Structure 1
Amino acid sequence: MTTERSEERKAPLAGLPLFSKSPPTPTDQRSSPHPMATLQLTTVSSGPIGSNVDWSLVSALRAQASEQLSQAVAADRGRLDKISQEELGRTIVLDLIESTVADRVNAGSTAMSPADQDALARAVFDSLFRLGRLQPLVDDDRLENIIITGHDNVLLELTDGSLTDGPPVADSDEELIDFLVFLASRSEVNARGFSEAQPRLHLRLGGGSRLAAAAWVTPRPSVVIRRHRLMEVTLDDLVERQMLTPVAASFLRAAVRSRKSIVVSGSQGAGKTTLVRALCAEIDPLEAIGTFESEYELHLHELRDRHRIVHPWEARPGSGERGPDGKAAGEFTLDEALVDSFRFNLSRQIVGEVRGKEIWAMIKAMESGTGSISTTHASDAVAAIRKLVTCAMEAGPHVTHALATSKLAATIDVIVHLDLKTTSQSGRSVRQRRVAEIIALDPGERETGYATTHVFAPDPHDLAGTAVPAVLPDSYRALARHGFDLNGYLAQKEVRA
């Protein structure tokens, strides 16, 4: 190996470890002892879904690369950081691929094409440092969900809602489970257990994807990977996608700016997290924000140009038996995170998805400040209230129905409900996400504990059910000073009257 090629490989390289081969110049041919000396790592877009790769060869090369890497790390006494290990891993992968290609040529076999070398190099590197056979799927921008019910039963849900078969993600169910166990345990920050004693797994992946898995309690291992495609999104972007009308966007923009506390409800995949990101884009860049999530999904702390001060908290499930306090070793709850956050001089506290008793974290956030935002699963806006009351009562017998209702009615100002419709057009599925309802919530009579007003209701003349002006409480007219298009609201309401 020439010195020139060695130095080339040691240079920091971003992205996937792929090969590209450029035609050698006469100088290159004279100075390079091997015809593959001009190969170098590059970054290219993902290939076709399910590109063919010899996974038995990948497994063998990964084992060799892992051994070499382990020896190098041990020789350096563990001083290599993650980036340095990946750079070293790229060099090792290059050497192994080069040797493999040379061996095939010497044995008289058909030479590997550049495309095959690219795919093999990426697969080996992904097996070492990324998601292995899942990585090409997670990298594919055409995909929204990856649905796995067994290693060889994979469905890919595309962004238009259509489904297509995907390639096997392991050679057996046992191999898939082993990989999930490894994936759960290797996190340097928030490792999670996955075993017969802990048969469920919720994990955030690189790039904002979310993984949910179950095994041992299901006939075959089940995995769903949800890809978050829209990270830097605004309300105007959602208007362009026909998710809501300009008037409704102006109302929500004004609600955020006037520090109303908002809950976003909807079914799975309806776009709740995307809408919350768009709402947060209306917060002043210099406001100090705290986010509280079971797994990071909002990723506001990564949007430095949009949010300068973000303190993100992520819950930790813990492991092992529960102690006298009822907590597992190492467990860190959203309630604890919220208590800690009170010393961080936050302007807004944003609690992620509410699925149970963490509703009290949301209530504390709304009571301690204004302008909180949260999400929950529900079939409509009013059902979201009932769902949150039930969640609150899970906190213990001290939380009665009346107490939960009064707390929620006093702290939540607006509920935005998203509707997801899937229709068939020209033989393919088409998804439509819409803001279907926006209601104002106020304390009510003792019998119910709250009163609701449909500020925007589903349009009865629109099959998609996009929210249109309905009834505007007098107190919300003041939102006009924060950018609410009051005249447009009243004009649309008059036309539909």
Structure 2
Amino acid sequence: MTTVDPIRTARAAISVDDVDWQLVAQLRSRASNQLSEAVSEHGTLTKGDQEELGRTIILDLVEAALADRIDAGLPVWTLPQQQALARATFDALFRLGRLQPLVDDDRVENIMITGHDNVLLELADGTVLTAPPVADSDEDLIEFLVFLASRSEVNAREFSEAHPTLHLRLDGGARLAANAWVCPRPQINIRRHRLVEVTLDDLVKLGMLTPVAASFLVAAVRARKSIVVSGAQGAGKTTLVRALCAQIDPWEPIGTFETEYELHLHELTDRHRIVRAWEARPGTGEIGPDGRRPGEFTLDEALVDSFRFNLSRQIVGEVRGKEIWAMIKAMESGTGSLSTTHASGAVAAIRKLVTCAMEAGRHVTQELATSKLAATVDLVVHLDLSATSSPGGDLERTRRIAEIVAVAPGERETGYATTHIFTSRAGGDAVPGVLPDDYRVLADVGFDLPGYLAAQHRAEHGEAR
């Protein structure tokens, strides 16, 4: 006989507007205390065991709360109401509380929150919708974020007035960024990664790039060119890096280095059989005499550690600041590294990376930073994100590869030289520009050189594709 789990089946049973969220907060607190006591008695429990025990505790608490209502002469909850209350309490204890239904919605790409009652959902097609409040007050929202940050046993994060920023990876691959105390109201952005198992062919079908550009990138990965993917927030940088990684041989040992796991190559075991994944840890508590927090683990330390793991490629995730030196070391130590950064264009990305490198200290001059980047970065692939309004008022977003630029050491004045192999065409795909002679050999590993030259001819003569 199959047993029905009332918590698992309650997701869509009742509107969230009908849940007593103050009671949920009380039940979550009681369940958390009982669970902590049980773990202390039984010793270490796996996450799955804790969740199963938590379900039992929560159902008992809901039954007790129902008995209290009966004793008080209050209306009895219906079965769907009991299930919804249990589900909401479970989500508050183990998941994302009132945010969980939003994260579970496959249509949603971005969740943008400014205060507990100002919630916007950006869908994959660009439509923006309003959503119900995610807490009863800003104070309750901050309290839940503090609980969420401290809950992880593996990589707990501090979120307090002394440390007012929070970056978390969530179950399912989503990424949460939050601020409080340094802004008028707490603000949160949750980015859902919808395309995890993705290839360049998939992106061609979505209109992000042409088959010729895809063949060039396939060949560049096979030829072990080091590539930086740039673009605005939400342009699809991480998705493109996943697609580029899909061209790596399944048995090639890969190392990934990220502030928060986003690539998730280590979870794609059919596609990548040997992946060593490192995640930085900010540490907690006061900064010590050495300038570090207890438990801090940096990407530089991860990279040094990785040299004992016999890796073929080292992939640094997003570069926002000093991570640039981990990226440079990865590109110097191996071949075929990949990374991402925010920038408005391919050349602007190089300038930004130079600035990031100089943030490491006064000993890093502009000349040193520029020469290092020019010697290690082979290609910059820039993604363009555009949004247009439809007659109905909805936003339609388009993501395209706008530029593929080759980087090489240059004159002392600039330190690097750039060549636009693919260049931006207004309102359309990137078109062939100038192909350096040393890139013609990519035809031996999959580059459609005849197709490139034909498209180049059409672009020069203004012919349609």
In the alignment, the residues of structure 2 paired with residue 321 and residue 265 of structure 1 have an alpha-carbon distance, to the nearest angstrom, of 35
2:432 to 469, 473, 492: 469
Q: 1:491 maps to what in 2?
A: 454
Q: Given that residues 422 and 434 in structure 2 are in contact (C-alpha distance below 8 angstroms), is that contact kept between their aligned partners in structure 1? A: yes
Q: Residues 96-122 of structure 1: CA distance to partner in whole angstroms, max 9, x if unpaired?
A: 4456667778958365263x4443332
Distance 1:238 1:50, change over 3 A: farther
- Show structure 1 runs of 5+ residues with no match: 10-17, 20-40
Q: 1:142 maps to what in 2?
A: 107
Q: Given that residues 117 and 133 in structure 2 are in contact (C-alpha distance below 8 angstroms), is that contact kept between their aligned partners in structure 1? A: yes
In the alignment, the residues of structure 2 paired with residue 49 and residue 97 of structure 1 have an alpha-carbon distance, to the nearest angstrom, of 18
1:292 has 2:253 as partner: no
Q: Given that residues 200 and 243 in structure 2 are in contact (C-alpha distance below 8 angstroms), is that contact kept between their aligned partners in structure 1? A: yes
TM-score scaled to structure 2, two decimals? 0.92
Residue identity opposite 2:322 in structure 1: K
Residue identity opposite 2:266 in structure 1: H
In the alignment, the residues of structure 2 paired with residue 223 and residue 64 of structure 1 have an alpha-carbon distance, to the nearest angstrom, of 27
Distance 1:393 1:312, change over 3 A: same
Alignment of structure 1 residues 59-458 onto 2, 5 Å: 59-74=25-40, 76-97=41-62, 109=75, 112=78, 114=80, 116-425=81-390, 426-458=392-424
Distance 1:373 1:221, change over 3 A: same
Question: Aligned-pair distance for 1:422?
Answer: 0.9
Residue identity opposite 1:356 in structure 2: G
In the alignment, the residues of structure 2 paired with residue 487 and residue 44 of structure 1 have an alpha-carbon distance, to the nearest angstrom, of 58
Instruction: Give the CA RMSD over aligned residues.
Output: 2.3
Residue identity opposite 1:490 in structure 2: L
Local SS of the residue matching 1:433 = strand
Q: Given that residues 66 and 76 in structure 2 are in contact (C-alpha distance below 8 angstroms), is that contact kept between their aligned partners in structure 1? A: no
- Quote the sequence identity (%): 72
Question: Aligned-pair distance for 1:247?
Answer: 0.8
Local SS of the residue matching 1:321 = coil
In the alignment, the residues of structure 1 paired with residue 201 and residue 298 of structure 2 have an alpha-carbon distance, to the nearest angstrom, of 35
Q: 1:27 maps to what in 2?
A: none
Distance 1:166 1:486, change over 3 A: same
TM-score scaled to structure 1, two decimals? 0.87
Q: 2:463 maps to what in 1?
A: none
1:57 to 23, 33, 39: 23
- Show structure 2 runs of 5+ residues with no match: 461-465
Local SS of the residue matching 2:216 = helix
Distance 1:224 1:370, change over 3 A: same
Residue identity opposite 1:335 in structure 2: D
Bigger Rg, which one: 1
Q: Residues 277-327 of structure 1: CA distance to partner in whole angstroms, max 9, x if unpaired?
A: 111111111111111111111111111111111111111112333334322
Distance 1:88 1:321, change over 3 A: closer
In the alignment, the residues of structure 2 paired with residue 50 and residue 104 of structure 1 have an alpha-carbon distance, to the nearest angstrom, of 20
Distance 1:429 1:52, change over 3 A: farther
Local SS of the residue matching 2:42 = coil
Q: How many residues align?
A: 458
Question: Aligned-pair distance for 1:80?
Answer: 3.2
Q: Given that residues 46 and 140 in structure 1 are in contact (C-alpha distance below 8 angstroms), is that contact kept between their aligned partners in structure 2? A: no
Local SS of the residue matching 1:184 = helix
Question: Aligned-pair distance for 1:43?
Answer: 5.2
Residue identity opposite 1:346 in structure 2: L
Q: Given that residues 66 and 128 in structure 1 are in contact (C-alpha distance below 8 angstroms), is that contact kept between their aligned partners in structure 2? A: yes
Question: Aligned-pair distance for 1:394?
Answer: 1.1
Local SS of the residue matching 1:495 = helix
**Higher mean displacement: 273-282 or 116-125:** 116-125
Question: Aligned-pair distance for 1:241?
Answer: 0.8
Q: 1:24 maps to what in 2?
A: none
In the alignment, the residues of structure 2 paired with residue 59 and residue 476 of structure 1 have an alpha-carbon distance, to the nearest angstrom, of 60
Question: Aligned-pair distance for 1:82?
Answer: 2.2
1:478 to 438, 441, 445: 441
Local SS of the residue matching 1:279 = helix
In the alignment, the residues of structure 1 paired with residue 231 and residue 150 of structure 2 have an alpha-carbon distance, to the nearest angstrom, of 32
Residue identity opposite 1:453 in structure 2: T
Question: Aligned-pair distance for 1:46?
Answer: 6.0
Q: Residues 87-142 of structure 1: CA distance to partner in whole angstroms, max 9, x if unpaired?
A: 1222333444456667778958365263x444333212111211111111111111
